Structure 1
Amino acid sequence: MSQQRRGASSFPFASLAEDLSTTVHGEVRFDPGSRSAYSTDSSNYRQVPIGVVVPRTPEAAAEAVAVCRRHDVPVLSRGGGTSLAGQCCNVGTVIDWSKYCTRVDSVDADAATAIVEPGIKLDALSRHLARYGLMVGPKPSTHVSCTIGGMIGNNSCGSTAQAYGKMVDAVRRLEILTYDGTRMWVGCSDDAEVERIAAGSDRAAQIYDGLRSIVDRHRDDIRSRYPHIPRRVSGYNLDSLLPENGFHLAKALVGSESTLVTVLRAEIDLVKVPAATSLTVLGFDDVIAAADAVPAVLSHHPAALEAIDHRLVSLEHSQRLAERALRDLPEGSGWLMVQMNGDDQRDADRKAKILAQELQSCASAHSFIVDDAQHMKQLWAAREAGLGATAFPPDGPETHEGWEDAAVPPERLGDYLRDFRALLDRYDYGSSSLYGHFGQGCVHTRIPFDLRTAAGIDTYHRFTVDAARLVTRYGGSLSGEHGDGQSRAELLPIMFGDNVVHAFEETKALFDPGDKMNPGKIVRPHRNIDNLRLGTDYLPLEPKTAFAYPDVAHRFSNAANRCVGVGKCRSEKSGVMCPSYRATREEEHSTRGRSRLLFEMLQGDVITDGWRSTAVRDALDLCLACKGCLSDCPVNVDMATYKAEFLHHHYRHRLRPMAHYSMGWLPLLARLASTMPGPVNAVAHARGTSTMLKRLGGIDERRALPEFASARFTDSPQACPARSAATRGTVVLWPDTFTNNFDPDIAHDAVEVLEAAGFDVEVPQRAACCGLTWISTGQLGVAKRVLRRTLRMLRPALRAGTPIVVLEPSCAAVFKSDAPNLLYGDQDAHRLAAQTYTIGEVLQRKAADWQPPRHPASAMAQPHCHQHAVLHYAHEKQLLEKAGISVEVLDAGCCGLAGNFGFEKGHYDVSVACAEDQLLPAIRQADPETVLIADGFSCRTQIRELTTHSQPRHTVQLLAAALRASEQARAAGATGGATR
């Protein structure tokens, strides 16, 4: 039975929701928030579904389809929801496979096959298969989030398709379900088997006989109108049913975009993980010259052959995406990235060198060869970041899908690009970047279509018609990777002709006569200018906001619409984004899902209560405000800021949750506690009073309240250090609330280190705060007042250009990021952002020649999320390595405490789940002698509370320990000398 059903009682489809809830083993959601989260994918289109079903098993999904059939409601299967052509949004019932239907039923290592459920993500399956030395051949750039079911529905490809083909080439068998309830396994069938099945009297016989008839009548057109190129993804794979192709029904259904059947399970072919790879990067005068060289490169049988152009590279540099990877590109304005596989590294490198020498000779290409795994990973990441880099170019209008993956014969690619670029110029779309899978003739681009005005939309439509005619003249495919969906389906007659399109219609009618499977896509499609997410009726609310949003033209609606849907926030490993999604696997707890709800809130027709929306509040409730999305999201969605903005308005002139008072006003409470920390700690930690205080403060009872230090740093003599004979000038050491009140030893160590490095250290003597706790709880009016007071206090230092050293990463991130956004236009706020340094940054940039004493040790560092997103840990790592400390920087995601988040009632389980995802296992597996570094107060608190680790330490504590060890060694040496 359903474990969750929300918002169905007053909904027009309440009976459907009720029936699904009582029948389906899974979660049933018909509330505005869930419907909003699934209203679009990664395309230009928006269709709000009736409801969402999250089945726990494929059998539960089959039950959901049966219920929808009884209610005559359309269904749509959805995997990662990253489709770029609109095939993953529709008005029916969405079945989301990606939360529970993620099992690997079996792996046959000898046969190199696996049977899997459709919701398993590609990267998750790859990790499972690694033990066998196997992997799935196709690897789209969205491999962190795309699912096997989605890849089958879309016929996905990726860079590895050069060696291993499309998803159609990996599918052996499919377990399918038709809308009318027919369930069966399908695969390759010889003539005898087809005859046997077709001779029956059941629904399977009808399907097989009907398909055989369709192919018999249209076989000449199928053979002549299907382009014989590596990247034909458009249309149904009726060519897989031709006699010469073995009547492979499973392959015929690949790429059908949930319009024919529901896939319940898949048996797929696997390939061996390459023993060794080498990457050659070739530089050309421009990307068209690179395309001209493709045939010469293909003669070397590369495993991958990708291209990037100068426009993409400049955008990635300007947005600091994959910047380090692109720094070493060879001379040129267009580049080919060529991967060669080998039996061993020597073999792969030999192939790469032969390729580079030949291309230098025949095509005047510049080159360099990379065989370092990490460098290769960075370069591939740069190529995969293309969509994010080109979506919102800082020097031009936003760009869109719509003609982003056409493919032509690789040997004709250069000429096609010349004509395509002329077409772009004719429509004044000339600033578009051109890149993609050039080895298979597939070109990616995002184009600055105007999709908000009638004239712009008409121009977009005329362009796509002309582009379809152009690619057809070259013997190409409208889609070489992303499918037809709604973007290209109405253009299919241009490519295939009326007869083949009629065959598509017959196929659709055979499987789905009532048109209930993802209607309006591929067959009898909506026009590509219908259902636009923007369109001429796009008129979002433009509310007055507390933050300025300078990067999105000062409009909150632009921020809410910034997400392009690629789903990187749905990753299960690597990076920080998005910890709550990793804990819950809920779409509305991903950065993308929350963006969709904010978009719908401003639209006002699904979520109708604006800032007062409980649906948006609930979706944001589990946002940790970690800021991971600010750096990890390809388009830098900043959900922490959006959450603070929403909370500011949602609770304006209303009673807030108690945690907003207890945790939000922590700086003030800490000042009061500093007058008598001993009694305060005793009361706060006594069994009875502690429980009462937590209940009153909205704090989870399983949390330990932080213990105030016996003396604040600012109350100590060291907070007023004497002037020294400093050679490097003055720095201001900022006494943040957390360091000052809970970990003052860190501040004492910082003074010691800064003075040893030759700085005079000043410490503000008046109580001050960055406003972090008020920002994170959405009390932005108070935060502004606090920040303005801070700016007045720091004014002399700011005007003098004095560095402000901040030890707590979250507070430094406020100064660097939040303050200039919240106080936009205040020049002191912008000065503060420019003059804020971490301890590592100030020592590396202002005292680069200072050599800390060597104190060899092994350490493991857990960067604070805000450190990862805004500040980075590179300077600290370099500094510690100067001191002889070997540092492994963990890629373990968020610790889960995240300031007030982990303390608040209702968040404890998610907080712990975030920590248990990767951080705590890494700590438990570490050598007991390894020093654990955590610069963030939240990180140290979470680690101390959830592990037996003795004491996580701040970076500056290790440097101070090195200084003291050096002094002790020097003193011991001096004493020993005197004795002798």
Structure 2
Amino acid sequence: MTDQVLVPGPVTTRPRGPYVRLRDLERDLAARVDGEVRFDPGSRGAYSTDGSNYRQVPLGVVVPRSVDAAAEAIAVCREHGAPITSRGGGTSLGGQTCNAAVVIDWSKYCHRLVSVDAAARTCVVEPGIVLDVLNRLLADTGLTFGPRPSTHSQCTLGGMIGNNSCGSTAQAYGKTADNIARLEILTYDGQRMWVGPTGEEEFDRIVAEGGPRARIYRELRAIVDEHSDEIRRRFPDIPRRVSGYNLDQLLPEAGFDLARALVGSEGTLVTVLRAELRLVPAPKAECLVLLGYHDIDVAADAVPRIARYGPLQLEGVDDKLVDYERRKHMHPDALKRLPEGGGWLMVSFGAGSQKEADAKACELLKELKGSEHAPHISFIDDAKIEKELWEVRESGLGATARVPGMRETWEGFEDSAVPPDRLGGYLRDLRRLFEEFGYGDASLYGHFGQGCVHTRIPFDLVTAEGVAAFRAFLERAADLVISYGGSLSGEHGDGQARGELLPKMFGPAVMTAFERVKAVFDPGDRMNPGKVVAPYRLDENLRLGPEWTPADPAVHFGYPDDEGSFQRAVMRCVGVGQCREHTGGVMCPSYRATGEEEHSTRGRSRLLFEMLNGHADSAVRDGWRSTAVHDALDLCLACKGCKHDCPMQVDMATYKAEFLAHHYARRIRPMDHYVMGWLPVWARVAALAPGVVNALAHAPVLSGLGKRLAGLEPARPVPEFARVRFSDWYRRRGTRGGGERGPVVLWPDTFTDNLHPHIGRAAVEVLEAAGYRVLIPPRTLCCGLTWISTGQLGVARRVLRRTVRTLAPALRRGIPIVGLEPSCTAVFRADAPEMFAHDRDFARLREQTRTLAELLSATDGWDPPRIDRDAVAQPHCHHHSVLGFETDRALLSRAGVRVEAVGGCCGLAGNFGFTAGHLEVSMTCAEHEILPAIRAADARTVVLADGFSCRTQIEQAGVGRQAIHLAELLAAGVRGTPLGDHPEWRAARRPGPPRVLGTR
């Protein structure tokens, strides 16, 4: 970081401006602001871009603990002349939330629901609160905040206010501006006040009081009065005009509503400290109807007729989007429910009862029947399928971003809006424009009931010729939408993407009014400069661009889905931010624990992008040796949740292993890498004298000293080695059973073999009872997991080659390999084939590896034993992300087990939870879902966890329960005995009393 930087200057003189002495600025912020002040390369790199095509490395990042602390941060920045940019979820597609400024991130601490007035149907919130979180907190009131963008699980209210967000439910409730009662704002020069609708008496009172507030109101009135005719003429009268400043809200007929006028100003005028929101009754029932048409244009023609029936949501989806989701294996069950057609409308109705909602839908269908807009129809009455169908639509950005066999697609003109009654014609002309520029692969979908069209376009953003075509297309597309009486932005705002095009839409008089309004609030252009007014060009500050020259280093993994390129793999992240969700799925446990952008999948992807050094101002300059990247990856649990939950299938666990391999190449590693990474070797040694090893490992003095020397968490008990390994027990016992169904190889992973051999014994009993002849490898082998997770990939490759050489005869005979430990099984299904992308035996290993549930479920004529129990299940992260838990769920249901599968990660995650310094994050992850679910469960409820890490975390967490493996549950059912009462493995189930976390 340099001592001083030149930052953009006032509107009239940009780009020249005052120098900001960064070290002095950082010092004063740290001294005066109650929050986290970060000017380090890692933080600056993580915040260098958002979901847009743009990239600007910030001066620094401030994470205030309160709105008052944020106000103080702005005061400090003012004293130093430093520009500021507010950021919520960071999902902006127009470049609004990246800038060469001090970024204020509201999302970690400033997320309180301050108050609720259910009678008045209002609430007051801080800007960092996430929309879904807010609506969950409001659930008991029966009220909700109406607008619902597709990023509802991660977008913040501050971001929604900044962008004037809408979403599918804006069909019924309008834009964010329509749902704002008042705003508490702060100007750059320190004027703090609540604003809202202003009647004449109040306006006169404010002006009479004098001072800065009076000046603001007086000057705004003068600007609007002077340009009122042009504002009325140039502002399109459509549901989705989001572009520009909302000067129409300052007209007399709008009641001089300054709050609504400031919504959508993208942080360029004021900072929003708190917001009073208008709430609406949440629908008690909804129904969904799918209407299929010949193509998306014909579907759009039907929109005005359907809209007259007042649907809650009226969305459009074309055949390209559906095809891309099918190619990516997204939502297969939901896509089967689409009616015949090449373009679809999704129409939902909300009501006080299901009968009433269904009646509304039936009335619409009766109207359409026999008309020129008669569709093919699918009426959805399955709540699960209905949820998945909405995910089909909400996943549009991720589904169209990286499609196999297609060019990459990008934002840029992704949210234009036209009058709904002209939508069909607009789509036809827009598609012709796509074809003219060679962008015919672009899909069309969006909020058709309000004329808002989403798309991602296969721009070439890395060559000068491609960027020139990008600019030419945007100018032509802007002319097209304006010719239809539309808006450049119908949802995502202007930012840098559309700021330069606004004169086409509004004309010189209104643009002059915009500039004057900017000068009223921010004469020095310190508020998110270069966006909306006096904008950067739409083809500068590109995240890629003709001058982008990233490294593409030689790597250990094959990255088969990314053309073998680590650089292309890192580019999978498109910034949609699903890794910032707080519920559902697994991704991203470290973000859920810390609330830190740097510890989200997206933040880590950004840092890896910076590490590849494609720009002259890259925030990360030291490549694979980067401390910033290492620190960000240190809290990655390698859970692979992102590989499943991220719409782009970012695989941060693999990227982490790759990074660690290079970071520590020819260097001494941390001791825990040698201890935990080489666990299979130490386990084999411990098997020679397990009693002695266990005694030494748990001796009070030796244990504490040993763990500290080994880099392990002192408070974390070390698991005890079994007295008899599973493989030794099995070889002594020998193969049994007729094996009429043929042989299977039961894989004795390190954890099952050395630590929980009772699970292997239970699996043998179940498999033999099912008619299989159980085999195990002739010698001790390993999947290499612990070496992979610590980035010791050279060792991992040697270990895997040895394993596959030994298994090759069984693999070539087509014998299934049955895994019991999900993490090890996932190596065979994912990591190993990706490391040996062109080896046929590794491909066979992937294809023939089964979980216990998968093998048994595919066994013809076999039925599970009847087990009438409730169960709480913690699917191992790799089970969720690589193997899939649905087969286990179905098998358990067949056995009569009523299972509640919790989300999230247990937090132990192999070596992660044992490593010193990780305990707090590890336990925070566990407290997110699994531990509360266990505490709430009845004493007779079975706790299921196939993963060794999950069972260990539960056992050590002090909840008084021990989890069991599916094999144990089924074995008890086969025997008809209570759990844990099998005579051959009862004694082996636990080598000693459980040791609770934090005890000695």
Coarse TM-score class (shorter-chain normalised): over 0.9
Could you tell me how far apart the structure 1 residues matched to 2:90 and 2:581 are? Answer: 13
Alpha-carbon displacement from aligned partner over 1:245-276 (angstroms, at most 9, x marks no partner): 00000000000000000111111101111011
Could you tell me how far apart the structure 2 residues matched to 1:616 and 1:282 are? Answer: 48
3-state DSSP of counterpart to 1:510: helix
Q: Which residue of 1 aligns with 2:528?
A: 518
Contact 1:308 1:334 (8 Å CA) reproduced: yes
1:240-389 to 2 correspondences below 5 Å: 240-362=249-371, 363-389=373-399
1:774 aligned residue (761, 784, 787): 787
Alpha-carbon displacement from aligned partner over 1:715-744 (angstroms, at most 9, x marks no partner): 014676436433322211111000011111
3-state DSSP of counterpart to 2:349: strand
Are 1:883 and 2:892 counterparts? no
Could you tell me how far apart the structure 2 residues matched to 1:274 and 1:494 are? Answer: 40
Contact 1:859 1:931 (8 Å CA) reproduced: yes
- Long gaps (5+) in structure 1: 1-5, 972-980
1:625-704 to 2 correspondences below 5 Å: 625-704=638-717
Alpha-carbon displacement from aligned partner over 1:637-686 (angstroms, at most 9, x marks no partner): 11100111111111111111111011000000000001111111111111
Contact 1:720 1:762 (8 Å CA) reproduced: no
Q: Which residue of 2 aligns with 1:506?
A: 516
Q: Which letter does structure 2 place at the counterpart of 1:907? A: H
Could you tell me how far apart the structure 1 residues matched to 2:761 and 2:579 are? Answer: 39
> Greater shift after overlay, 266-275 or 709-718?
709-718
Q: Which residue of 1 aligns with 2:30?
A: 21
Alpha-carbon displacement from aligned partner over 1:455-485 (angstroms, at most 9, x marks no partner): 1000010100110111011111000000000
Could you tell me how far apart the structure 2 residues matched to 1:474 and 1:64 are? Answer: 44
Could you tell me how far apart the structure 2 residues matched to 1:722 and 1:910 are? Answer: 44
Instruction: Pick closer, same or farther for the CA change 1:879–1:848 going to 2, 3 Å.
Output: farther
Contact 1:718 1:748 (8 Å CA) reproduced: no
Q: Which letter does structure 2 place at the counterpart of 1:889? A: A
Instruction: Pick closer, same or farther for the CA change 1:232–1:134 going to 2, 3 Å.
Output: same
3-state DSSP of counterpart to 1:184: strand
Alpha-carbon displacement from aligned partner over 1:787-809 (angstroms, at most 9, x marks no partner): 00001010001111111100000
Contact 1:353 1:369 (8 Å CA) reproduced: no
Are 1:118 and 2:127 counterparts? yes
Q: Which letter does structure 2 place at the counterpart of 1:837? A: R
Instruction: Pick closer, same or farther for the CA change 1:508–1:336 going to 2, 3 Å.
Output: same
Contact 2:128 2:157 (8 Å CA) reproduced: yes
Could you tell me how far apart the structure 2 residues matched to 1:460 and 1:214 are? Answer: 35
1:885-964 to 2 correspondences below 5 Å: 885-891=897-903, 893-964=904-975
Are 1:76 and 2:85 counterparts? yes
Could you tell me how far apart the structure 1 residues matched to 2:293 and 2:960 are? Answer: 54
Could you tell me how far apart the structure 2 residues matched to 1:843 and 1:642 are? Answer: 34
1:856 aligned residue (851, 868, 879): 868
Contact 1:117 1:149 (8 Å CA) reproduced: yes
Alpha-carbon displacement from aligned partner over 1:770-819 (angstroms, at most 9, x marks no partner): 00000000000000000000010100011111111000000011111100
3-state DSSP of counterpart to 2:138: helix
1:222-233 to 2 correspondences below 5 Å: 222-233=231-242
Contact 2:954 2:961 (8 Å CA) reproduced: no
Alpha-carbon displacement from aligned partner over 1:212-236 (angstroms, at most 9, x marks no partner): 0111111111111111110110000
3-state DSSP of counterpart to 1:430: coil
Could you tell me how far apart the structure 2 residues matched to 1:348 and 1:719 are? Answer: 66
3-state DSSP of counterpart to 1:443: strand
Could you tell me how far apart the structure 2 residues matched to 1:511 and 1:883 are? Answer: 67
1:192 aligned residue (201, 208, 213): 201
Contact 2:333 2:385 (8 Å CA) reproduced: no
Contact 1:520 1:526 (8 Å CA) reproduced: yes
Q: Which residue of 2 aligns with 1:390?
A: 400
Q: Which residue of 1 aligns with 2:719?
A: 706
1:578-593 to 2 correspondences below 5 Å: 578-593=588-603
**How far does residue 353 in structure 1 lie from its aligned partner after superposition?**
2.2
3-state DSSP of counterpart to 2:443: coil
Are 1:236 and 2:245 counterparts? yes
Are 1:204 and 2:213 counterparts? yes
Q: Which letter does structure 2 place at the counterpart of 1:451? A: L
Are 1:869 and 2:881 counterparts? yes
Q: Report the RMSD for the aligned CA atoms in angstroms.
A: 1.6
3-state DSSP of counterpart to 2:249: helix
Q: Which residue of 2 aligns with 1:978?
A: none
Alpha-carbon displacement from aligned partner over 1:96-138 (angstroms, at most 9, x marks no partner): 1111111111100100101111111111111111111111111
Contact 1:163 1:304 (8 Å CA) reproduced: yes
Contact 2:198 2:255 (8 Å CA) reproduced: yes
Q: Which residue of 2 aligns with 1:160?
A: 169
**How far does residue 8 in structure 1 lie from its aligned partner after superposition?**
8.4
Q: Which residue of 2 aligns with 1:181?
A: 190
Q: Which residue of 2 aligns with 1:965?
A: 976
3-state DSSP of counterpart to 2:416: coil
Q: Which residue of 2 aligns with 1:51?
A: 60
Alpha-carbon displacement from aligned partner over 1:616-640 (angstroms, at most 9, x marks no partner): 1001100000000000111111110
**How far does residue 966 in structure 1 lie from its aligned partner after superposition?**
7.8
Q: Which letter does structure 1 place at the counterpart of 2:930? A: L
1:619 aligned residue (593, 609, 632): 632
3-state DSSP of counterpart to 2:968: helix
Contact 2:711 2:916 (8 Å CA) reproduced: yes
Instruction: Pick closer, same or farther for the CA change 1:54–1:719 going to 2, 3 Å.
Output: farther
- Could you tell me the percent identity over the aligned residues? 61
Could you tell me how far apart the structure 1 residues matched to 2:96 and 2:442 are? Answer: 24
Could you tell me how far apart the structure 2 residues matched to 1:948 and 1:190 are? Answer: 59
3-state DSSP of counterpart to 1:139: coil
1:706-745 to 2 correspondences below 5 Å: 706-717=719-730, 721-722=734-735, 724-745=737-758
- Long gaps (5+) in structure 2: 6-19, 983-1000
Could you tell me how far apart the structure 2 residues matched to 1:400 and 1:570 are? Answer: 21
Contact 2:110 2:128 (8 Å CA) reproduced: yes
Could you tell me how far apart the structure 1 residues matched to 2:216 and 2:787 are? Answer: 63
Contact 1:8 1:30 (8 Å CA) reproduced: no
Instruction: Pick closer, same or farther for the CA change 1:27–1:950 going to 2, 3 Å.
Output: closer
What count of residue pairs does the alignment treat as equivalent? Answer: 962
3-state DSSP of counterpart to 2:612: helix
**How far does residue 521 in structure 1 lie from its aligned partner after superposition?**
0.5
> Greater shift after overlay, 334-343 or 600-609?
600-609
**How far does residue 447 in structure 1 lie from its aligned partner after superposition?**
0.2
Could you tell me how far apart the structure 2 residues matched to 1:706 and 1:918 are? Answer: 23
Instruction: Pick closer, same or farther for the CA change 1:327–1:849 going to 2, 3 Å.
Output: farther
Q: Which residue of 1 aligns with 2:579?
A: 569
1:219 aligned residue (219, 223, 228): 228
**How far does residue 615 in structure 1 lie from its aligned partner after superposition?**
0.5
> Greater shift after overlay, 240-249 or 191-200?
191-200
Could you tell me how far apart the structure 2 residues matched to 1:240 and 1:372 are? Answer: 42
Q: Which letter does structure 2 place at the counterpart of 1:791? A: V
Q: TM-score, normalised by structure 2?
A: 0.95
Contact 2:934 2:959 (8 Å CA) reproduced: no
**How far does residue 424 in structure 1 lie from its aligned partner after superposition?**
0.5
Q: Which letter does structure 2 place at the counterpart of 1:878? A: A
Could you tell me how far apart the structure 2 residues matched to 1:453 and 1:870 are? Answer: 37
Are 1:825 and 2:834 counterparts? no
Contact 1:280 1:356 (8 Å CA) reproduced: no
Q: Which letter does structure 2 place at the counterpart of 1:912? A: M
**How far does residue 12 in structure 1 lie from its aligned partner after superposition?**
5.3
Q: Which letter does structure 1 place at the counterpart of 2:280? A: V
Contact 2:722 2:755 (8 Å CA) reproduced: yes
Could you tell me how far apart the structure 2 residues matched to 1:659 and 1:12 are? Answer: 41
